Every structure is written in structure tokens, then in C-alpha cells.
A and B are shown apart, each in its own frame.
Chain A
């Protein structure tokens, strides 16, 4: 049975939920054995959680004479050594900022083909599907090489429970030299306000927001789903939000995965700045608002009633 290595993302010693879908994808039609790697001292706890989805081995990955988390280079090197050590055919990770970084380094070390940010994988056909041209097309690409490297877009594959027995192990890679890049510092996010342009989710309030303090309502919702908060030009002009929050032709141009427009009419000057969003949700009490002709999902309703409920439901959903 071919073995697939999976780099698990942990946070404060706990496995992040987004890893489960990755395990499911790595498992394929259960034609693979999944070896999970963690870089923090939480292998036992992780094994318990990951075995529920099919990881049969959980390995605490480390480097000899150093801290694996002090440089993404060390993690990549350790993974490269692990591929050999565990005789892995596939090595998978999440297409998150840390995942993309480690896998970029890994593919360079191995000089092996690497498919980033895939949305599905078909082991039988030896193919994966990923976005090309900024999400305008989907490409089916061939998985090549003696070791296949890929990263999976978070949440692209639903986790499927598949309990197996699991064991834990430790693997400390011997590396000839240290990392060329060192992590000097992790700066915590600046309170609540995320940078608009690169945010994966944006929630925007239009003119009906009525007052600057009402943006708190959107911020609360944003916090639940890791979104940035934006504003329409009309709202900025009315003095409810600073220009740095403005999305649109004369503000910021954004293309998040999800754009939630609350009380935004959808005039061209605004639409031009967010039209490349992958999915657009509109909440507006005017059922004839032009935004409903351009969004993917719509709710006709007062944003002051809908948004608090949305925050609540998202929170419930997240906690589940």
C-alpha cells in the first residue's frame, strides 16, 4: 500500500480542524496509508484526533541539534529526510501560508514536481484539479515524479471519519546545515482589523450602516470567520468609515474567496473593485438592488437583523 505523508498544522499543541479534510484527501479511496507529521510536542494527542480520520501513524518530526520551528528550511529538510525514511510516495500539506512555504522549499530541495493548492486528487488516474487563471478555469493536472508533492486548499475536501488504529513515533532528521532563513518574530494580528487586499473573506457595510460605531456589528461577524471589514464609497463619503476601508474603483480592489456585501446596492463603482471575488453574498433589504443580479447568494433583509444572526450561526457552525 503506497504511503502518503501529511504535514499537520497545529496551534498551541492542538490539531487545527482544517487538517481532517487533508487526511481524508490523503487517504484517497483508502488506497493509501497515511503518515502524519507534527512539529510540536503533541503527537499523542494528535494521534488520537487524527486516527479518527484515518491517520495510522503520527510522527513527531524534529531536527537534530535544533528547533524545527525556527526556520521553514529546517521543516522542509526534515520532511525531505522523512520521505526517504518512511518510503513515502506522496507528501501532502495544506495550502496555507505556512504550508505553501514549507512545500515550496521541499520541492526545491527534492527538485521534484509539486502541485500547489489543489482542490481534489484522483490517485487512480494520477491527477489533481486546481485553479488556473485566478479561478477562471479549473485545470486537471498530471501528478508526476517518484515522489508526488501537493498542497490542498483548506476545506476543499470534506473530512470523512474513518477510525483506524494508530501509533506514534518520533523522527529526528540529521541535517547537514541549518536553515538559511530564520523566524525572528511572529507579530500577532492587529486588533480585529485585517488587511483588506489579501483577506480571504471580506464583509462590507454600505451606506445604510448609518454610523461609524455600527461597523462593530460587522467586525464581530468578521472575527468569527477571519474576515476583513470593508466599506462602500457612499459609506466612506458619509463619514461612517475611513477611506482605507473603501472597496471599489477608487478604493481597494479585492478578490477574496468570499465577499459578503451588506447594504451595498452594487453600483458599478463598487462592483468594479470586488467583481473578481470567488463567491459573493448579498444582504440587502431592497429586493431590486442591482447587487442581487451579480451575487451568488442573496438574502433580502435588513442587515441589522441578518448580520447578528449570521454571526451567531457562523459561531455555532465553527464550534461544531
Chain B
């Protein structure tokens, strides 16, 4: 079984993002990790291959040279080897990224399954699984929290609000965008961390794969911090008044 997992190199969600200039952020001292949603996809891929008893899990990353370090942690979680398409573009658009992913996978082998995360936690684009699927002309299901693959049929479940779940069926090969609940990604064993250091990561320039990164790709026009919490607004009056004020405030701030 040949399974590919698209893995993105993103800043740790727990870290502060220091904005640099108008539309950039400072990466010095910033901890990068495997996009958390991609980890669910990776774990699922590894389990599928383990269950099949043969095959490999190949992780594919489009990102900077430093992404190799986060790829090592994905390799420690059970992936067989990696492919890195190098670009220094921090805000590479989803269309180009998907084209690069497609080219890299196609160049490598014939996928039986492709996994991605449901979205990346940096640019929150939520579209790569669809674009990759379209490029391969595969079925796709995103935000998947339960999956069963049997006899070339994949049955996937996704939450559609209010606790209701949609059950989708498709043939394999297909693209699955994973989310929380699909599994508990494993904590790597130390020998696997050491082995991961020696696993192969093939590096490509986008041009090697015939992918063109448009020069106009400059990311957002502006990046602004969301103000930190600075003391609570306390609701005043009796119970009824304070609750009404709270609900109104939540409404005014588009939280409800």
C-alpha cells in the first residue's frame, strides 16, 4: 500500500507570533511543528500500512529547507521517507502548494491513499485536500474524524454541526483531510526518533517538478495582532441585568 501524507511545517500553535513589518512575522526563536491536523492524517496512514502489512507512508512537504526538522518528527511517528519541495515563501498560496504536492507525489509513485490535515493552522486555507484530489481526479472528504477503508471503498465520517455527523462513501484511491477525533497520534519511541534521523528525505526545487511559483505570491497585504486579553470586562447590576449585558456584548462582538 502506497500512502502519501501532505505535511506542513507551521509555527507551534502555542507560540506567540511576532509580526514583522506590514505583513510578515519573525521566525527567529519560533518553534515550528508538524501541522497538528496533518498528524491525525499521518497516524491514520501509518495504521493503514501497518494493518496492510506492507507498503510505505511517504510524507510530502512544500516548505523551507528548515522544514526538514519537522519532517524528522513526522518520520519518527512512523512515516517511511519524505519528499521536500523547497520554497522560502512563508505564505505560499494553496493553489501553488497543491500543484507542488501533486507533482511531487506523481513523480514518486502511484498513491493508494493521500492524507492531509483539514486545514493548516498558520494560513487556515482549508482547501489543499480538495485541490490535490482534483489534480489526481480522486474523490475527497475533508474534516474526517472516523475512517474505514475496506475493499477499495472508504467510509468517512465528518461532524456537520450540532453533533450531527455525515457519513460519506467513496472509492479509493482518495484524499482524506483529517481532523481531531480520527485517532490519537502516537508519541514516538526513542529508537524511532533516532531511526528517523537516517530516513531519506528527497529534496526538490519546484522547478525540478515543473512547478512554477509566481513571483506575485506575497501573502497577505497586512498582518495584525489580535489584542491580548487585558483584564476582564465585569458585568454589572443584578443577575438579570448582568446576564443581559453579557449576551448583548457577546452578540455585539460577533461571538454568538
Contacts and interface: CB of A to CB of B under 8 A. Distances in A.
Is A–B contact present in the complex under a CB 8 A cutoff? yes
A186 B139 contact: no
A281 B255 CA distance: 11
Contacts of A137: 17, 19, 25, 223-226
Contact of A195 (B131, B170, B181): B181
A163 interface: no
B205 interface: no
Contact of A107 (B127, B166, B232): B127
Contacts of A130: 124
Interface residues of B, number: 80
B250 A279 contact: yes
Most chain-A Cβ atoms within 10 A of its Cβ — which of B19, B167, B255? B255
B178 to A, nearest CB: 12
A314 interface: yes
A116 B138 CA distance: 22
B231 interface: yes
Contacts of B122: 132-133
B51 interface: no
A64 interface: no
B239 A182 contact: no
Contacts of A98: 160-161
A305 B93 CA distance: 50
Interface stretch (A37-45, A211-219, A290-298): A290-298
Contacts of A97: 143, 158-161, 166
Interface in A63-89: 73
A116 B127 contact: yes
B160 A186 contact: yes
Contact of A298 (B129, B161, B234, B256): B234
B163 A181 contact: no
Interface stretch (B68-76, B103-111, B196-204, B241-249): B241-249
A132 B220 CA distance: 10
Given A136-B225, A293-B231, A114 B127 contact: yes
A288 interface: no
Given A97-B158, A104-B127, A279-B255, A297 B170 contact: no
A316 to B, nearest CB: 9
Contacts of A279: 250, 253, 255
B149 interface: no
Contacts of A299: 234-235, 242-243, 246
Interface in B192-248: 219-226, 229, 231-235, 239-240, 242-244, 246-247
A115 to B, nearest CB: 8
A31 interface: no
B239 A132 contact: no
Given A184-B155, A194-B162, A136 B254 contact: no
A197 B145 CA distance: 11
Most chain-B Cβ atoms within 10 A of its Cβ — which of A97, A133, A195, A297? A133
A137 B224 CA distance: 5
Contacts, number: 228
Given A104-B142, A139-B223, A185-B167, A317 B234 contact: no
Contacts of B135: 108
Most chain-A Cβ atoms within 10 A of its Cβ — which of B133, B135, B256? B256
A225 B121 contact: no
A106 to B, nearest CB: 8
A214 B139 CA distance: 46
B13 interface: yes
A142 B93 CA distance: 11
A170 B123 CA distance: 37
B165 A186 contact: yes
A226 interface: yes
B255 A278 contact: yes
A52 interface: no
B234 A292 contact: yes
A192 to B, nearest CB: 8
A175 interface: no
B240 A258 contact: no
A189 B159 CA distance: 9
Contacts of B188: none
B248 to A, nearest CB: 8
A198 B180 contact: yes
Interface of A: 73, 96-98, 100-101, 103-105, 107-109, 111, 113-114, 116-117, 119, 127, 130-142, 155-158, 180-190, 193-195, 197-198, 225-226, 257-258, 276, 278-282, 292-301, 305-306, 309-310, 313-314, 317
9 contacts: A97-B143, A101-B142, A137-B225, A141-B221, A181-B169, A186-B165, A187-B157, A258-B250, A279-B250
Given A132-B223, A142-B221, 20 more contacts: A97-B158, A104-B127, A111-B131, A113-B95, A114-B127, A119-B254, A132-B220, A136-B16, A139-B222, A139-B223, A180-B174, A183-B168, A186-B165, A187-B164, A279-B255, A293-B231, A309-B243, A310-B246, A313-B240, A314-B247
Which 4 pairs, one residue from A and one from B, show the smallest C-beta to C-beta distance?
A: A189-B163, A180-B139, A108-B134, A139-B220
